[in-house]
């Protein structure tokens, strides 16, 4: 799907595109004198070869003048007079441009030693439509260019707003996750202090990830995979035989990129609600990627009759990651969340960048 500000795939904001568009339009217009004279679109009387050549030179000189008038009107007169409400001065300046054109036109005729076929007065009326069209086109161009520049500024503001919002969402996830990991360490200290050192090392890896990678726009999937493995290991150490955890990671290209901290909230949610007063608690985590897509599935059992006090911090990760996915992978993702037969299943499919 093309951006709504693109036309048949051409980026209207691109400066190079605008420049080439100007060049092409002016080249087409400058070819018109030759075409018109080659098909005898001329006054009724017959002209000599010298006069014919003179007319073509004159038309080309006129076009160069119109080009200069076009940009002078667009860059000088409209911003400094028309847009500031100085309409009398603007009209006077435009009339002066036309008067100068007629003077130059008459001078070139004399220099080329060609008799004016109609006289100066009638010639001025014949040339007026071309002049008015040039000024109108200049005004239209300036207006459209201004609108495009305004939209570009709005787009840049939207980008900054999106960046700020994403940073806020990540900052919400990180403290919540750290809180859970610290609880894990407290539990491990109480249960088996010999596991403390490897646990702290894994926590160090998690902290390193959050400090050095969460500010990046994208990270390698292998980095996200290591992060998931560290977190899962910590949870398995915490709960031991209280929960059965099955993991399957099949990654074709570990250098493919993904938004950081995108998958962990689903895993965190599974451990939060999939362990406790549940018969045969089980958590299944599967990650599969190919050259184009990432398929991530998390399944956990839960107790539908659990009416204990609601954890005010629960659900923060899921809510935020859903928001982030909508912001970053719009039209490039499919998120399915199902709850059936005391089983909670999340399936995320992402279209990866090539």
Range of lowest pLDDT (42-51, 83-92, 129-138): 42-51
Distance CA 344, CA 134 (A): 67
The per-residue pLDDT for 250 is: 94
- Secondary structure element (H or E) that encloses residue 200, with its range: helix 196-212
Flag the least confident range among 54-58, 302-306, 343-347. Answer: 54-58
CATH class of the structural domain 163-351 = alpha beta
Q: Give 201-211 pLDDT, tens digit per residue.
A: 887 887 788 77
Please give the pLDDT value at position 319. Answer: 73
Domain boundaries, the chain: 6-117, 163-351
* Beta carbons of 251 and 226 less than 8 angstroms apart: no
The better pLDDT of the pair 274, 257 is held by: 257
Choose among 22, 183, 45: nearest CA to 117: 45
Res 293: pLDDT: 94
**Cβ within 8 Å of residue 42, ≥6 positions away:** 36, 55
What percent of the chain clears pLDDT 70, i.e. is strictly above it? 68
pLDDT above 80: residue 170: no
Q: How confident is the model at residue 46 (pLDDT cuts 50, 70, 90)?
A: low
Confidence at residue 44, expressed as pLDDT on a 0 to 100 scale: 46
Whole-number Å distance between alpha carbons of 162 and 327: 8
How confident is the model at residue 41, as a pLDDT? 46
Tens-digit pLDDT profile for residues 189-202? 777 667 777 878 88
Residues contacting 58, CB < 8 A, separation 6+: 105, 108, 109, 112, 114
Both tokens of residue 192?
Answer: 């088996």
89-105 average pLDDT score? 87
Whether the Cβ atoms of residue 297 and residue 286 lie closer than 8 Å to each other: yes
Which residue, 199, 298, 217, is CA-closest to 259? Answer: 217
* Residue 303, pLDDT above cutoff 50: yes
Q: Which residues pair with 287 in a beta bridge?
A: 249, 296
Q: What is the mean pLDDT of residues 141-163?
A: 78
Q: What is the pLDDT of residue 241?
A: 83
Residue 249's pLDDT is 96
**pLDDT (mean) for 118-147:** 75
Instruction: Say how far apart CA 17 and CA 11 lie, in whole Å.
Output: 7
Mean per-residue pLDDT, 226-248: 87
Concatenated DSSP letters of 18-55: HHHHHHHHHHHHHHHHHHHHHTT-S-SS---HHHHHHH
CA 247 to CA 229: how far, in whole Å?
9
pLDDT band with cut points at 50, 70 and 90 for residue 86: very high
């Amino acid at each position: 799907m093309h951006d709504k500000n693109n036309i048949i795939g051409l980026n209207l904001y691109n400066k190079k595109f605008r420049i080439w568009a100007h060049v092409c339009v002016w080249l087409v217009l400058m070819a018109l004198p030759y075409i018109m004279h080659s098909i005898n679109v001329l006054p009724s009387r017959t002209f000599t070869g010298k006069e014919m050549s003179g007319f073509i030179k004159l038309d080309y000189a006129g076009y160069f003048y119109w080009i200069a008038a076009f940009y002078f009107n667009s860059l000088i007169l409209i911003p400094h007079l028309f847009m500031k409400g100085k309409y009398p001065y603007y009209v006077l300046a435009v009339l002066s441009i036309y008067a100068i054109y007629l003077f130059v036109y008459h001078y070139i005729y004399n220099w080329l030693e060609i008799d004016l076929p109609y006289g100066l007065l009638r010639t001025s009326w014949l040339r007026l439509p071309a002049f008015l069209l040039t000024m109108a086109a200049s005004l239209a161009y300036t207006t459209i260019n201004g609108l495009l520049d305004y939209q570009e500024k709005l787009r840049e503001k939207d980008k900054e707003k999106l960046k700020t919002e994403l940073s806020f969402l990540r900052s919400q996830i990180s403290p919540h996750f750290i809180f859970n990991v610290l609880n894990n360490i407290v539990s491990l200290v109480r249960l088996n202090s010999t596991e403390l050192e490897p646990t702290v090392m894994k926590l160090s890896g998690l902290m390193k990830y959050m400090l050095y990678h969460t500010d990046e726009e994208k990270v390698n999937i292998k980095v996200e995979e290591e992060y998931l493995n560290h977190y899962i290991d910590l949870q398995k150490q915490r709960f031991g035989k209280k929960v059965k955890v099955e993991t399957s990671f099949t990654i074709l290209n570990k250098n493919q990129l993904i938004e950081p901290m995108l998958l962990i909230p689903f895993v965190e949610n599974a451990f939060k609600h999939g362990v406790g007063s549940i018969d045969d608690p089980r958590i299944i985590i599967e990650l599969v990627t190919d050259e184009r897509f990432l398929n991530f599935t998390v399944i956990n059992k839960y107790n539908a009759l659990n009416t204990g006090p609601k954890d005010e911090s629960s659900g923060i990760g899921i809510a935020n990651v859903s928001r982030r996915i909508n912001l970053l992978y719009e039209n490039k993702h499919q998120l399915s969340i199902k709850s059936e037969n005391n089983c909670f299943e999340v399936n995320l499919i992402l279209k990866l960048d090539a």
